[in-house]
């Protein structure tokens, strides 16, 4: 590690910190490897932070769920559009893309929710609301 501290990027969606890659700089667009969120890098007093350039838009949530599924090898079933519409509704009412099937509107349930990121799909074959499915 030649004396350098590993730099990390904070993701505001999943609250994860992931490795900063050499060559990235202020304004670079990257994908959070944990939740699939597209982020624009900015330097803060606390280190690198990812800003959500498309925050609250249809484009943001569609790209996030597609990227998350791609990163993890998951597929979608016939209810994808209905669940995306549920995410839009939650965003309109509660200010972010919370799981359409959960009553709580807390950061742990921002799509993809913490239980999904924690292995529910691998264990159960699908996430709680049925948006992400394990390939069979």
Distance CA 96, CA 89 (A): 9
- Provide the residue ranges of all domains of the chain, joining segments of one domain with +: 8-51, 58-134
Does residue 1 register a pLDDT over 90?
no
Say whether pLDDT at 95 is over 60.
Answer: yes
Mean pLDDT of 80-100: 97
* pTM of the predicted structure, to 2 decimals: 0.90
Question: Which of these, 79, 101, 81, lies nearest to 90 by C-alpha position?
Answer: 101
As a whole number of Å, the end-to-end CA separation of the chain is 40
- pLDDT recorded at residue 136: 84
Percent of the chain with pLDDT over 70: 96
Residue 16 pLDDT level (bands cut at 50, 70, 90): very high
Share of the chain residues as helix, strand and coil, in percent rounded to the nearest 5: 30, 20, 50
| Band of residue 83 on the pLDDT scale cut at 50, 70, 90 | very high
- The number of residues in the chain equals 136
Distances (CA, A) of 121 to 5, 76, 125, 134: 34, 12, 5, 6
Q: CATH topology for 58-134?
A: Ferredoxin Thioredoxin Reductase (3.90.460)
pLDDT at 4: 52
């Amino acid at each position: 590690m030649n004396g350098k501290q590993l730099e990390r990027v904070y993701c505001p969606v999943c609250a994860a910190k992931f490795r900063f890659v050499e060559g990235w700089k202020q304004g670079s667009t990257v994908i959070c490897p944990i939740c699939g969120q597209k982020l624009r890098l900015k330097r803060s007093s606390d280190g690198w932070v990812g800003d959500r350039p498309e925050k609250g838009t249809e484009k943001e949530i569609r790209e996030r769920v597609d990227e998350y599924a791609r990163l993890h090898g998951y597929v979608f079933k016939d209810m994808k559009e209905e669940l995306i519409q549920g995410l839009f509704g939650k965003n309109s009412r509660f200010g972010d893309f919370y799981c359409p099937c959960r009553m709580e509107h807390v950061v742990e349930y921002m799509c993809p929710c913490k239980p999904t990121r924690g292995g529910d799909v691998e264990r159960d074959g699908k996430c709680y609301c049925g948006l992400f499915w394990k390939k069979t």
